[in-house]
Amino acid sequence: MTNSYEYFVAQLINGITLGTVYGLIAIGYTMVYGVIGMINFAHGEVFMIGSFLSIITFLLLGLAGITWVPLAILIVLLVTMFLTPVYGWTIERVAYRPLRQAPRLAPLITAIGMSIFLQNYVQVLQGARNKVLQPVVVGGFEILKRGDYTVSISYLQIFDVVLTVLLMLAFTLLISRTRLGRAQRACEQDLSMASLLGVDVDRTISITFVMGSALASVAGLIFLLNYGVIDFFIGFLAGIKAFTAAVLGGIGSLPGAMLGGLLIGLIEAMWSGYFSIEYKDVAAFSILILVLVLRPTGLLGRAQNEKV
């Protein structure tokens, strides 16, 4: 059965679903790096907080008697996209803005410190036990069947892909067509020159952190709805893999981040389906090494000249 075409399609669907999570988180990494040239290693914890805010909101909606699934998901999506970016904004103000002119190692260490702090902050507030959400969206379409083996795509997986595509289009248009996007691209080229030309650099960087955190919150909601179990430590490994996805796709490229996320998700799903699940992480990182040896800028990245 594991060699059948139907099984391959099933793993393909699972990989795309997982890849949307990694891709949405990876965009936050690549946006911050593109503007200030630094890696926000606390971004995985922002994703984790988005998952916790989602499950808390679902609980409160249940207590309030709001049980119509589309309305509940919409409310949770809006709440988590509004509250989670507060943490991203705080990380920028506390861990990055005071150290913007410091050596690159200083904000890197501070970001790792923020990551550990947020992990323990959530552990103290929510406890160390797993938090479980019963399935919210059920049902789907049967797309393939051979004998007793059926391949289905769930309504939730369709929702994940559609939501991810819409967010990608919205953010791409925002960056390419709006005044904020022009300010972000100016900051990406040169922060000092952008400031001289009238760009509010501090505001632009803060908004970039907020935008990346909003996408991470959506990834947290998708992860919760699909897997149903979260804890205070899920942000660490997801963050590392999303950072891997951003580098694989080409750090600084939004389409590259999403492509890298999808590739990491597909690699994990296919390796888990056809080989040993214990080594799926090794497979993902091995592919990263291979790509960077052959193409150091990543799949869609562009070589950048150092500013002197």
Give 60-94 pLDDT, tens digit per residue: 999 999 989 999 999 999 999 999 999 999 999 98
Q: Which of 103-107, 109-113, 222-226, 289-293 has the highest mean pLDDT?
A: 222-226
**pLDDT score recorded for residue 2:** 47
Q: What does pLDDT average to over the chain? A: 88
Residue 289: is its pLDDT beyond 50? yes
**pLDDT score recorded for residue 131:** 93
**pLDDT score recorded for residue 304:** 58
Residue 31: is its pLDDT beyond 50? yes
Of residues 280 and 17, more confidence is placed in 17
Q: How confident is the model at residue 125 (pLDDT cuts 50, 70, 90)?
A: very high
Q: How confident is the model at residue 302 (pLDDT cuts 50, 70, 90)?
A: low
Q: How confident is the model at residue 95 (pLDDT cuts 50, 70, 90)?
A: confident
**pLDDT score recorded for residue 308:** 42
Give 144-197 pLDDT, tens digit per residue: 777 777 788 999 999 999 999 999 888 888 888 889 889 988 888 888 888 888
Residue 218: is its pLDDT beyond 90? yes
Name residues whose C-beta falls within 8 Å of residue 263's C-beta, 6 or more positions apart in sequence: 19, 245, 248, 249, 287
Q: What are 154's strand-pairing partners?
A: 140
- Measured CA to CA, the distance from residue 7 to residue 2 in angstroms comes to 6
Residue 52: is its pLDDT beyond 90? yes
For residue 167, the one-letter residue type is L
Residue 239: is its pLDDT beyond 70? yes
Quote the tokens at residue 139: 């049902």
The domains found in the chain, sorted by start residue, are 5-294 (1.10.3470)
Residue 307: is its pLDDT beyond 50? no
Question: Mean pLDDT across the stretch 47-54?
Answer: 96
**End-to-end CA, the chain:** 58
Cα-atom radius of gyration of the chain, to the nearest Å?
Answer: 20
**pLDDT score recorded for residue 82:** 95
Residue with tokens 């260490």: 109
**pLDDT score recorded for residue 262:** 93
Instruction: State what percent of residues in the chain have pLDDT above 70.
Output: 97
**pLDDT score recorded for residue 303:** 59
- DSSP one-letter string for the chain: -TTSHHHHHHHHHHHHHHHHHHHHHHHHHHHHHHHHS---TTHHHHHHHHHHHHHHHHHHHHHTT---HHHHHHHHHHHHHHHHHHHHHHHIIIIIGGGTTS-THHHHHHHHHHHHHHHHHHHHHH-SS-EE----S--EEEEEEETTEEEEEEHHHHHHHHHHHHHHHHHHHHHHHSHHHHHHHHHHH-HHHHHHTT--HHHHHHHHHHHHHHHHHHHHHHHHHHH-EE-TTHHHHHHHHHHHHHHHH-TT-HHHHHHHHHHHHHHHHHHHHHS-GGGHHHHHHHHHHHHHHH-TT-SS----PPP-
Residue 305: is its pLDDT beyond 70? no
**pLDDT score recorded for residue 273:** 84
Question: Mean pLDDT across the stretch 11-33?
Answer: 91
Q: How confident is the model at residue 281 (pLDDT cuts 50, 70, 90)?
A: confident
- Measured CA to CA, the distance from residue 268 to residue 277 in angstroms comes to 8
**pTM of the shown model:** 0.91
Angle between helices 201-227 and 43-63 (to 10 degrees): 60
**pLDDT score recorded for residue 1:** 45
Residue 306: is its pLDDT beyond 60? no
What Cα–Cα distance (Å) separates residue 280 from each residue in 10, 135, 271, 277? 17, 26, 6, 5
Residue 224: is its pLDDT beyond 90? yes
Question: Mean pLDDT across the stretch 248-252?
Answer: 84
Instruction: State what percent of residues in the chain have pLDDT above 90.
Output: 46
